[in-house]
Chains A and B, each alone.
Chain A
Amino acid sequence: MRDSNSPLQQKFAALKRRAREAWEALRKGPLVLVGAATCGRAAGALEVLKVLEEEIRKQGLDARVVEVGCMGHCYAEPLVVIAKPGFPSICYGYVTEGIARRLVQDFLGGDDPCLEFALAALEPNELVPAFSDFPRGQVERAVLLEKCGLIDPQDINHYLALGGYGALVKALSLSPEEVVAEIKASGLRGRGGAGFPTGKKWEACRLAPGEEKYVICNADEGDPGAFMDRTILESNPHQVLEGLAIAAYAVGARRGFFYVRAEYPLAVERVKAAVRDARAAGLLGPDILGSGFDFEVEVFQGSGAFVCGEETALIASMEGRPGLPRHRPPYPAEKGLWGRPTVINNVKTLAYVPLIVERGAAWFRGIGTPQSPGTAVFALAGKVVNTGLVEVPMGTTLRQLIFGVGSGVPKGKAFKAVQIGGPSGGCLPVSCLDLPVDFDSLAQAGAMMGSGGMVVLDEDDCMVEVARFFLDFTQKESCGKCTMCRLGTRQMLEILESITRGEGRPEDLELLLELAEDVQAGSLCGLGRTAPNPVLSTLRYFREEYEAHIKERRCPAKMCQALIAYYILPEKCERSCDACVGSCPVEAIFTNEDRLKVIDQQKCVKCNSCMEACPPQYKAVIKLSPPELVRELERKGGAK
């Protein structure tokens, strides 16, 4: 079967040749790529796309507009890339309908590349700086996301033309054991959060007795603050599908499933289309490319329960029961879906598989650290300049990630902490910035790799409130099976709520620590066992903030609504300006007899609108904590 002239290779070569022809025909003329994943769409990418097409038609130009996935630079959405022969491929950011028209008229119609709107070029060249010329280019390394944003996720030919499905064909000419051995040798660890070695999981399933086995792609990305899996499925679903097919071949499964959150309608649609197209091309279905290997894939939509990210709960929900986790062992690799051996892998884990099979375990081991080989994909969000999808080799420090790639905290504010790993993770302070990002270092510092959400927090974010937020989430999402998780998190939440209201008692902190220990020990699945992490890590690094809330009824970050008040500084207020009055949604701001603006504290809903509306040259609106300070200041303001 290893003969390069085998029928398998020949069939695939024909497929690939057709794809390459289509791809090259497309690239002959000018090509416009529009990033239209969910976040791009939210920023208006579809409107831009329409304007581009309309303008190209109006000008009678020969240019193709292609809808692609995410390019990673979410901060500058909507994004457009123009590849015109004779010019480097240039990426334009913050594209509006006006800019779109200019690009068509001046660049496609004329020869002016409109560099004033350019973000950067895709490759180094003489004309425009490329992404790799910026500081972030030194840190980033696209492995998993290599093709995202460059290909049309709905056109299988694009993926094929760039070498897609080559790994599946290679795997099919190896024995399943050889494929498992390769993945084991690569040291690939599950990207769903826990970092379990993927090869071991596959081997266990391969060796488990039973004719019928299943593979499942876990795309139930429920962590608030994480969007990597969604983006990958929307931008390059075929790579994940190929990984799933290889996994199936390796473990001996003939049926596979995508378990995708129903909250991701676009991802669901793209995956379904990918399955359909791959099947039509003979890359899925019975007797794939004449190899004798059958593989069918179905898409199952998760119904919005965070706990279903846990393997056994996910299985329960696919079997039509409430998603309650069960005790392990037996592990799903031995007894999974409908009692049959089942491998469940995260989207990113599966997306690495074709790359490893194609380029070899040694290549993969050459990236990252010995214990955590490969790259890490993070969804960078929160108080950071360059939000978006970031891929760096494992072992990169948090500082390089947040300041090198993310360009630091906006508006000149001070960095305070970074929340990694969502509700199971923790908040790491400035002192942890030089920590390398890998599974083990993060766990040691009290956070967790999680599925890769990274939310940057600045001086205006209250750590007690952050802890309360995550506990509120886990408390609501607790399935209720284990008493400690169901009731322990509830009691912890109540304590945190009382602290953020300024009603905390000094002994609460010890009680929180005690409860945290109990919840960790008394829960069956990862949800409960990691639920106290946000509280523990904030208590470990930011205890003084908890104490300020309890002892002084003061929120140092001025975030907890019950502990702050808004106030307009009379000496800074510009008398004839009405910006704040117009912005207030509840008419709480009035003009006093000195024609100064004053906030009626009884009516104020603390929505922050006035603070945003106040022109930067005045900056008259401030927040005070504790709120009693307002009365003091008003008294000092004199008899007015």
Chain B
Amino acid sequence: MVLLTEEEKRAAREAAGSAVRGFPRSRGSLVPILQKIQEKLGYVPLEAMEEVAGQLGIPPVDVYGVVTFYNQFRLTPPGRRQIKVCLGTACHMKGGTVILDCWKRRLGIEVGGVTPDREFSLERVACVGCCSMAPVTVINDEVHGRVTPTRVDGLLFSFGVKVKKGRQEEGEVN
């Protein structure tokens, strides 16, 4: 669990407060409100959930239940660059898992993780509907098609990341 600063907590409550304002105060507005909060903050912090629950007059645990049920919602802050690897059927058959492994290896994080500098976060998504471009990686909202392991390195390079070669620190001398 990522610890939030006091300022982040305040921002969370504010975001929740302003998100609620645009909707009728009924349970039917819950999902759109949460989407609005996530759009603003990139995730839905506990503080925001409590605020929404209070304003809509429903138990906080129900809000938590909804947030954790749907794949779209994050509980932790995402990286500045959100990397989503598509593992739909077409992407999977064309090596999507290999691409996911590449990202994991290069970023040193697991699926759902964030790099310590909060620069990158890694997720898998079911299908982004670009099956004819498989395998696909979505970075923030930009879709990259026909990704290869070398393309992963290239993308990281374009973000200014120096890619360490090799799985171990020292490669075998031949």
Q: Which residues of A contact B133 (CB under 8 A)?
A: 39, 42-43, 74, 77
Given the known A-B contacts A304-B72, A319-B28, are A224 and B89 also in contact in the complex, defined by CB atoms under 8 Å?
A: yes
Query: Which of A42, A338, A381, A585 contacts B90, CB < 8 Å?
Result: A381
B143 touching A42, Cβ below 8 Å: yes
Q: Which residues of B contact A612 (CB under 8 A)?
A: 148
- Asked if A453 is an interface residue, CB under 8 A from chain B, the answer is yes
How many chain B residues sit at the interface, stated as a range, is: 35 or more
Q: From A423, which residue of chain B is reached at the shortest CB distance?
A: B89
Encoded as 1 (CB less than 8 Å from any A CB) or 0, chain B from 109 to 140 comes to: 00000000000000001111111111010000
B90 touching A225, Cβ below 8 Å: yes
A605 touching B167, Cβ below 8 Å: yes
A224 touching B88, Cβ below 8 Å: yes
A225 touching B70, Cβ below 8 Å: no
Cα A77 to Cα B146 with chains together (Å): 12
A320 touching B31, Cβ below 8 Å: yes
Q: Which residues of B contact A609 (CB under 8 A)?
A: 148-150
Q: Which residues of A contact B5 (CB under 8 A)?
A: none
A319 touching B32, Cβ below 8 Å: no
Query: Which of A303, A321, A590 contacts B172, CB < 8 Å?
Result: A590
Q: Which residues of A contact B168 (CB under 8 A)?
A: 603
Query: Which of A77, A453, A583, A587 contacts B89, CB < 8 Å?
Result: A453
In A368-397, the 8 Å CB interface with B consists of: 379, 381-383, 387-388
In A599-639, the 8 Å CB interface with B consists of: 600, 603, 605-609, 612
Cα A41 to Cα B132 with chains together (Å): 12
A263 touching B128, Cβ below 8 Å: yes
Query: Which of B62, B102, B131 contacts A225, CB < 8 Å?
Result: B131
B127 touching A225, Cβ below 8 Å: yes
Encoded as 1 (CB less than 8 Å from any A CB) or 0, chain B from 58 to 76 comes to: 0000100110011111000
A221 touching B30, Cβ below 8 Å: no
Cα A225 to Cα B127 with chains together (Å): 7
Encoded as 1 (CB less than 8 Å from any B CB) or 0, chain A from 572 to 598 comes to: 000000000001011100111000000
Cα A583 to Cα B101 with chains together (Å): 16
Q: From A613, which residue of chain B is reached at the shortest CB distance?
A: B150
A38 touching B143, Cβ below 8 Å: yes
A583 touching B150, Cβ below 8 Å: yes
- Asked if B82 is an interface residue, CB under 8 A from chain A, the answer is no
Q: Which residues of B contact A600 (CB under 8 A)?
A: 172
Q: From A419, which residue of chain B is reached at the shortest CB distance?
A: B89
CB distance from B135 to the nearest CB of A (A): 11
- Asked if A457 is an interface residue, CB under 8 A from chain B, the answer is yes
Query: Which of B95, B131, B150 contacts A379, CB < 8 Å?
Result: B131
Q: From B88, which residue of chain A is reached at the shortest CB distance?
A: A224
Q: Which residues of A contact B71 (CB under 8 A)?
A: 303-305
Q: Which residues of B contact A590 (CB under 8 A)?
A: 172, 174
- Asked if A29 is an interface residue, CB under 8 A from chain B, the answer is no
A321 touching B27, Cβ below 8 Å: yes
Q: From B102, which residue of chain A is reached at the shortest CB distance?
A: A585
Encoded as 1 (CB less than 8 Å from any A CB) or 0, chain B from 29 to 54 comes to: 11110110000000000000000000
CB distance from A587 to the nearest CB of B (A): 4
How many chain A residues sit at the interface, stated as a range, is: 35 or more
Query: Which of B27, B29, B69, B130 contacts A305, CB < 8 Å?
Result: B69
CB distance from A593 to the nearest CB of B (A): 9
Q: Which residues of A contact B174 (CB under 8 A)?
A: 590-592
A38 touching B130, Cβ below 8 Å: yes
CB distance from B98 to the nearest CB of A (A): 5
Q: Which residues of B contact A607 (CB under 8 A)?
A: 95, 98, 101-102, 149
CB distance from A561 to the nearest CB of B (A): 8
Q: From B129, which residue of chain A is reached at the shortest CB distance?
A: A227
Given the known A-B contacts A305-B70, A585-B102, A607-B102, are A319 and B132 also in contact in the complex, defined by CB atoms under 8 Å?
A: no
Query: Which of B98, B126, B153 contacts A306, CB < 8 Å?
Result: B126
Q: From A379, which residue of chain B is reached at the shortest CB distance?
A: B131
Q: Which residues of A contact B70 (CB under 8 A)?
A: 303-305, 317, 322-323
A301 touching B149, Cβ below 8 Å: no
Residue with the greatest number of chain A CB neighbours at <10 A, chosen from B70, B87, B132, B133: B132
A381 touching B66, Cβ below 8 Å: no
Q: Which residues of B contact A338 (CB under 8 A)?
A: 28
B128 touching A322, Cβ below 8 Å: no
Q: From A384, which residue of chain B is reached at the shortest CB distance?
A: B132
Query: Which of A469, A479, A608 contacts B92, CB < 8 Å?
Result: A469
B127 touching A455, Cβ below 8 Å: no
A320 touching B30, Cβ below 8 Å: yes
In A535-557, the 8 Å CB interface with B consists of: none
Cα A43 to Cα B88 with chains together (Å): 18
A221 touching B129, Cβ below 8 Å: yes
- Asked if B17 is an interface residue, CB under 8 A from chain A, the answer is no
Query: Which of B27, B72, B144 contacts A303, CB < 8 Å?
Result: B72
- Asked if A226 is an interface residue, CB under 8 A from chain B, the answer is yes
- Asked if A7 is an interface residue, CB under 8 A from chain B, the answer is no
B150 touching A587, Cβ below 8 Å: no
Cα A262 to Cα B70 with chains together (Å): 11
In B1-41, the 8 Å CB interface with A consists of: 26-32, 34-35
Cα A552 to Cα B66 with chains together (Å): 46
Cα A623 to Cα B112 with chains together (Å): 32
Cα A41 to Cα B72 with chains together (Å): 23
Given the known A-B contacts A75-B132, A585-B149, A605-B101, are A322 and B89 also in contact in the complex, defined by CB atoms under 8 Å?
A: no
Cα A611 to Cα B27 with chains together (Å): 54
A473 touching B31, Cβ below 8 Å: no
Given the known A-B contacts A301-B35, A304-B72, A422-B89, are A39 and B30 also in contact in the complex, defined by CB atoms under 8 Å?
A: no
- Please name the 4 residue pairs, one residue from A and one from B, whose CB atoms are nearest each other, closest first: A224-B88, A225-B89, A320-B30, A74-B132
Q: With A590-B172, A605-B98, A606-B98 given, name 5 new contacts (CB 8 A).
A: A39-B132, A43-B133, A262-B72, A303-B71, A320-B27
Listed by A's residue number, 6 A-B pairs whose Cβ atoms lie within 8 Å are: A77-B133, A227-B130, A301-B35, A319-B28, A453-B89, A455-B93
